[in-house]
Copies of this chain bind each other. A is one copy, B any other.
């Protein structure tokens, strides 16, 4: 379901993968919509386990904190690219519902990050022209969409193995996020 999207994956197909009959799925969930909600809630709620430990654990400077959060973001989606694909599809198919779920699960953490950015701007370590809230949205969306689709966009690299392409693109997106965030003195 994650790979091809909720709407394009029939209950029969899901049942086959689980090894039961279609009607049996509708015994555990009242309908397909409820199953979709459960899958999304399960995926998004994992962020509430991952993110807190990043912020509460250590005292870090801005660059180290950037690397920790960015690494976690990239790892979360590269560990299972279907997560990214499902979220991208949901955002296009049912923007309102996903918006509500994001507000519920990850928005507090996005606010924490944009707070750090504004703090860094006050201290001069982060570029003054960064739009903190927009930056966070753009970077999350960039990681999401890159993992969801860019591994397949290998047409620009003749004959290069897919794994190598993926690594180059991920490295480049992290570099872009870093270089466009910090003041040049910190950026080195």
Contact = CB atoms under 8 A, between A and B. Distances in A.
**Prevailing SS type, chain A contact patch:** helix
Given A8-B8, A92-B148, A180-B179, A107 B156 contact: yes
Contacts of A157: 133
Interface stretch (A18-26, A44-52, A65-73, A139-147): A139-147
Interface stretch (A31-39, A53-61, A165-173): A165-173
B171 A131 contact: yes
A138 interface: yes
A95 interface: yes
Given A85-B92, A92-B89, A179-B179, A150 B136 contact: no
